[in-house]
Amino acid sequence: MTATAADQSLQQDVPSAQAVPEVDFDTAPDRYRHWKLEVNGEVAKVTLAVDENGGLVPGYDLKMNSYDLGVDIELYDAVQRLRFEHPEVKAVVMTSALERMFCAGANIRMLGQSSHAWKVNFCKFTNETRNGIEDATEHSGQTWIAALNGTAAGGGYELALACDQIVLIDDGSSTVSLPEVPLLGVLPGTGGLTRVVDKRHVRKDRADLFATKSEGYRGATAVDWGLIDGTVPRASFEQEIARRAEEAAAGSRRAGEQGVTLTPLDRTQTESQIEYPHVKARLDREARRVEITVHAPGTPPPADAAEVLAQGVDYWPMAVTRELDDLILRLRTNETELGTWVLRTSGDVDQVLAYDQQLRDLADDWFVNEVVHYYKRTMKRLDVTSRSMIAVIEPGSCFAGLLLELALAADRQYMLEGVYEDVDPDADPAAIVLTESNNGPFPMGNGLTRLESRFWGHDEGLERARGLFGERLDARAADGAGLVTLALDDIDFEEELRIVLEERASLSPDALTGMEANHRFVGPETLETKIFGRLTAWQNWIFYRPNASGPDGALRRYGSGQRGHYDMTRV
């Protein structure tokens, strides 16, 4: 995010929070208002051309390519379509339709009028989208190149930082900058501070200068410090970008001829339910929780890679991932008071295991590779969601392989020992199954598997769990292996679960968010954990502080001609 000349109409009387409509994450290139997507053989171009009057909610103009959540929803869609619909694309150029302005960052008037929760969710989603761009470069062979044909300020520069290469036009005026600290009293909200030092390896004293110099840097200094990769005069700018894109495409390992069209999701939504073919969510507003059930496939996996591709979005791992992704975003953005998510699965364990094995057997296929990384990213989205997650494992569950990741991502796991004697005494007891899918393909943001995170500091327990791959573990075995929180018989199970869920709903949401975020990410720090943990935590606090968001704070006063009034006490 950044301060821009686009927001100089911001006044002190802007409300601190404005009601917003329910956010819809469905879009497609023919419906984009802010981006233009072009594909020309191995190179694609995404051009930012923000509709000034196209804000997601009333109250601000998106001038100078400043953006809001609606702009980023379209970018996320473009990233996904390039990965799935265009296997021929090996390089992506991101540029702007405006002269001398690439992107002015997040719209300040929008931030000034938004609730705290809206600001935080906005920053989280934009962070995840930037991570998706980096993931496409690393794992899909689609190198992203930022062609900065004008100034990139704040969130605009953070967009560029997500790309593998950054080239700035040399026109005597265009700069890159992160002016949030000096102008707004907040931090860059989309990982800018972290990427400057941890990704681009800018020396920390220079990074300090950069983050406190509101006008930023251009030309040779920006190249020398590592803020950009090159600066090129206007006359040769397009030629240099084309050269870099062709070079990146030539070095790509990406292979595939026929893409998979991302057709609209089949979703039914009511006041109390969101339902897809494979995922169902029941919203219990009185209890402030959501009961989420993921269903196993109803048919065996297709015979080979060609049939997998023919199924496309209907291929079960792909379909269930799209549904989970959409559900997480909708619940996270639109249902902020439903603080506890109960995770269940239902269906045939053998069918889940068959698809789970196929994902590994066909890992070299471009489409299967994309599905695996999409599921990985969706599970990461779940990890950083500020909701309490409780996995319930009972007869009829199918927590195996990739679906077991849901249980391992939960804050607690409760497993029924035996069956519900009064309901279905002839049912098969619940069992969980670890596979190689729990041993690497779906790492967390800290670089560890969820199994490694669970047994952090307990190497013997980790190795013991790895020795159980493929075995069907009943409640007693799962409990003995340390894979569930509690295993209880049917006399105690439902009552214990009721108490747990009611207790969770009674605790402070703020304290729970901080507690869960600390417990989920044990072990080493990475660029991702720094962004979602350290940087986001501080930003959340700063957003609340009067120095930024109070009546006389810098964020609220920006554009009024008055500087923010600061309480100079260091906290």
The whole-number pLDDT of residue 322 equals 98
Q: Which of 37-41, 170-174, 550-554 has the lowest mean pLDDT?
A: 550-554
Are 411 and 360 in the same domain? yes
Q: Is 232 a member of any domain?
A: yes
Which pLDDT band holds residue 18 (cuts at 50, 70, 90)? low
Question: Tokens standing for 41?
Answer: 């053989």
- Are 458 and 503 contained in the same domain? yes
Q: What is the mean pLDDT of the chain?
A: 94
State the pLDDT at residue 2. 45
| pLDDT, position 544 | 82
- pLDDT tier at 164 (50, 70, 90 boundaries)? very high
Residue 262 lies in a domain: no
Nearest Cα neighbor of 473 from 439, 441, 429 is 429
Question: What would the mean pLDDT of 325-329 be, rounded to a whole number?
Answer: 98
Domain contains 527: no
Under the banding of pLDDT at 50, 70 and 90, the label for residue 6 is: very low
Provide the 3-class DSSP secondary structure of residue 196: helix
Domain holding 237, by residue range, is 14-253
Assign 102 a pLDDT band (cuts: 50, 70, 90): very high
- Among residues 498, 517, 536, the one where a domain terminates is 517
Residue 176 lies in a domain: yes
Question: Please, is 399 exposed, middle or buried when counting C-beta atoms within 10 Å of its C-beta (0-12, 13-18, 19+)?
Answer: buried
What are the pLDDT digits (tens) for 342-355?
A: 999 999 999 999 99
Q: Is there a single domain that holds both residue 41 and residue 163?
A: yes
422, pLDDT greater than 80 = yes
User: Can you tell me the distance from the alpha carbon of 154 to that of 542, in angstroms, rounded to the nearest whole number?
Assistant: 17
pLDDT tens, 408-419?
999 999 999 999
Residues 379 and 502 in one domain: yes
In the predicted model, what is the mean pLDDT of residues 258-280? Answer: 97
Buried b (16+ CB within 10 A) or exposed e, 317-346: bbbbbbbbbbbbbbbbbbbbebbbbbbbbe
User: Are 44 and 38 a contacting pair, CB within 8 Å?
Assistant: yes
Same-domain pairing of 227 and 287: no
How many domains in the chain?
Answer: 2
User: Do 276 and 235 share a domain, yes or no?
Assistant: no
Q: Are 137 and 282 within one domain? A: no
pLDDT for the residue numbered 564: 87
**Same domain as 274, residue 212:** no
Please give the pLDDT value at position 396: 97
Q: What pLDDT is attached to residue 19?
A: 59
Greatest pairwise CA separation for the chain in angstroms: 79
Joined tokens for residue 50: 């923000």
Does 207 share its domain with 278? no
Task: Say how far residue 176 (Cα) sits from the centre of its chain.
Answer: 25
Q: What is the DSSP string of 239-289?
A: HHHHHHHHHHHHT-----SS----PPP--EE-SSEEE-SSEEEEEETTTTE
Per-residue pLDDT tens for 60-83? 999 999 999 999 999 999 999 999
CATH classification at residue 375: 3.90.226.10
356-387 pLDDT, tens digit per residue, is 999 999 999 999 999 999 999 999 999 999 99
What is the model's pLDDT at position 320? 98
Asked if residue 551 is part of any domain, the answer here is no
- Please determine, for residue 283, whether its predicted confidence score (pLDDT) is greater than 60: yes
Domain boundary among 481, 501, 517: 517
**How confident is the model over 294-319, as pLDDT tens digits?**
999 999 999 999 999 999 999 999 99
More confident of the two residues 288 and 570: 288
Instruction: Please report which residue ranges of 187-256 form alpha helices under DSSP H.
Output: 192-194, 204-212, 219-225, 234-250
Please tell me the predicted confidence (pLDDT) of residue 556.
82
Is 546 a member of any domain?
no
Q: Are residues 247 and 275 in the same domain?
A: no
Same domain for 157 and 233, yes or no, is: yes
CA distance 423 to 151: 66
Statement: residue 148 has pLDDT above 60: yes
What proportion of the chain, given as a percentage, has pLDDT over 70? 96
Task: Report which of 441, 419, 438, 440 is spatially closest to residue 430, judged by C-alpha positions.
Answer: 419
Single out the residue in 501, 517, 533 at which a domain terminates.
517
Q: Which residues contact 8 (CB under 8 A, 6 or more apart)?
A: 559
Phi–psi pair at 490, nearest 5 degrees: -70, -15
Q: What's the pLDDT at 20? A: 66
pLDDT at position 560: 81
**Per-residue pLDDT tens digits for 169-190:** 999 999 999 999 999 999 998 9
Give Cα 555 distance to the centre of its chain. 25
Is there a domain that residue 552 lies in?
A: no
Domain membership flag for residue 445: yes
Residues 75 and 27 in one domain: yes
CA within 13 Å, CB half, 344: 17
pLDDT at 137 over 50: yes
